Chains A and B, each alone.
Chain A
Amino acid sequence: MFSRHKQSPPLAEPTKWYVEAEQTTPTDADAHEQARAEADALVEDYLDHVSAQILALPRARRTEIRGEIHQHLQALVQAHEELGDDPVTAAQAARKQFGDPAKIGRAFVQAWRPAVSREELTAFPGAAMKQGLLWFGGAALLFYLQAIASIVFFNYVFWSPSLERLVMLCLLLLPCVAGWQVGRSGRARPSLGAFYALAALAFAFLPITLLNLANTSNDGLHAFREMLSLFTPMFALWMPLGSLAAAVSGARNKWRPARFRLAR
């Protein structure tokens, strides 16, 4: 006590002395605060790693899981501290006790997905096939009507080049709309969405193909050439466009988790 008085500076500058003393000799409380901050950072880092693995889950569920794990980790840290560990060692021990965050994140996704898959399997075929047949069938019908109209009404007044361009644009957009609708109702992964779009396309052309083959006035080679000339633009344009649209639309289902929830 006396020695501190001897070392103390003149009374004129008490504030400066205090500040210097605080800066040069950190107290235990400061060190503890620093350790606490470091421990919190370790916990947050762990939570970030888990959160990065569970992006497939809805935001609300992710927040809930993060909060739950956070509380559990904090309780573990506290338990380790009560056993005599400093905050950083306690946080490290809690992290170790909790396990590999990547593995836990994957387990969360696996636990979440079966419910989605079950509903996908039950809800997919009917709705998607109906949508597929409706849209692609309608599109195919319009395509043939356009082909007939361009031949039959070519010399008529109302069939103008601008109208033809409009029809062609619609025909270009149709497979995109059809694929998008199939993907939406399919509630499926992109690959499944694309598959069903293709399957629906094949179904849509089946009656037309059969009618063409059954036409006895055509010889076989003529019917084949005619079909090929109509199929080529469809398969070259419609299938990739329709499948891509279905795939993108199907992929968006992943981010619409509310639709996947099981009815309780």
Chain B
Amino acid sequence: MANEKRELLKGSTPSLILAVLADAPRHGYAVAREIERRTDSALSLGEGSLYPALLALEQSGLVTGAWETRSANGPARKVYTITEAGTAELARRTRDWRAFAQSIERVLGTLGVPESKGAEPDVQPA
């Protein structure tokens, strides 16, 4: 189950990053914290996986990164901004995700949520 969740999250990482950057430009650490905040820590993105995903988005031209210095002595930080192509991509991904989620919901929604019986499976294999 944990693996399924991890795989699902891995595939959704670019969408999550784009969604967070759509609100405001952010640096990597702020992106991770914002995703954590919006999901009430339900989706804790592997912090390390964030940067390769950002690099891939930057390579694809969906986000741009620029180094900014906060103060005279403060360290420079790379702040990412979503591009027009990124906004369009986010809209497409959101549409696809909603269609996908609705399809799954149509199938799963017909079922009631079964009560957990511990480790015992409901149906025994023949």
A residues touching B (Cβ–Cβ < 8 Å)? 64-65, 67-69, 71-72, 75-76, 97-101, 103-104, 107-108, 110-112, 114-115, 262, 264
Tell me if A97 and B47 are in contact (CB < 8 A): yes
Which residue in B28, B46, B59 is a CB contact (below 8 Å) of A115? B59
Contact A112 B28 (CB under 8 A): no
Contact B47 A264 (CB under 8 A): no
- A–B complex contacts, Cβ < 8 Å, 20 sampled: A65-B55, A68-B51, A69-B48, A71-B27, A71-B29, A72-B29, A72-B32, A72-B51, A75-B29, A98-B46, A99-B46, A99-B48, A99-B49, A101-B48, A107-B52, A107-B53, A108-B51, A111-B53, A262-B59, A262-B61
- List the B residue with the shortest CB-CB distance to A68: B78
Q: Contact partner of B47 among A76, A110, A112, CB < 8 A?
A: A76
Residues on A with beta carbons closer than 8 Å to the beta carbon of B51: 65, 68-69, 72, 104, 108
Q: Which of B74-94 contact A (CB under 8 A)?
A: 75-78
**A72-B28, A72-B29, A75-B29 are known contacts. Are A111 and B56 too (CB-CB below 8 A)?**
yes
State in angstroms the CA–CA spacing of A65 and B67 once bound together. 12
Q: Which residue of A has the minimal Cβ distance to B76?
A: A67
Partner of A111, one of B32, B59, B77: B59
Whether the Cβ atoms of B49 and A112 lie closer than 8 Å is: no
Q: Could you tell me the distance between the alpha carbons of A172 and B49 in the complex, rounded to whole angstroms?
A: 50
Q: CB distance B77 to A110 under 8 Å?
A: no
CA distance A64 to B80 in the complex (A): 13
How far is A64 from B59 in the complex, measured between Cα atoms in Å? 14
How far apart are A93's CB and chain B's nearest CB, in angstroms?
Answer: 11
Q: Does A98 contact B53, Cβ atoms closer than 8 Å?
A: no
Known: A67-B78, A111-B59. 11 other contacts (CB 8 A): A65-B51, A69-B51, A71-B75, A72-B29, A72-B47, A72-B51, A98-B46, A101-B48, A104-B52, A107-B49, A264-B61
Q: Lowest 10 CB-CB distances: which A-B pairs, in order?
A: A107-B52, A99-B48, A111-B56, A104-B48, A111-B55, A98-B48, A111-B52, A99-B46, A115-B59, A98-B47
The binding surface of chain A is classed by DSSP as helix
Instruction: Name the CB-closest residue of B to A94.
Output: B47
With a CB–CB cut-off of 8 A, which chain A residues contact B76?
67
Judge whether B55 and A108 touch: CB under 8 Å. Answer: yes
Q: Give B47's nearest chain A residue, CB to CB.
A: A98
CB < 8 Å neighbour of B78 from A64, A104, A115: A64
Chain B nearest CB, measured from A140 CB (Å): 41
**Shortest distance in angstroms between A262's beta carbon and chain B's nearest beta carbon?**
7
Q: How far is the CA of A112 from the CA of B47 in the complex (A)?
A: 18
Complexed CA–CA distance, A114 and B53 (Å): 13
* Cα-based distance from A100 to B52 in the complex (angstroms): 13
> Are A104 and B49 in touch, CB under 8 angstroms?
yes
* Smallest CB gap from A111: residue in B: B56
Nearest-Cβ distance from residue A7 to partner chain B, whole angstroms? 44
Closest Cβ of chain B to A44, distance in Å, is 16
Contacts of B46 in A (CB 8 A): 98-99
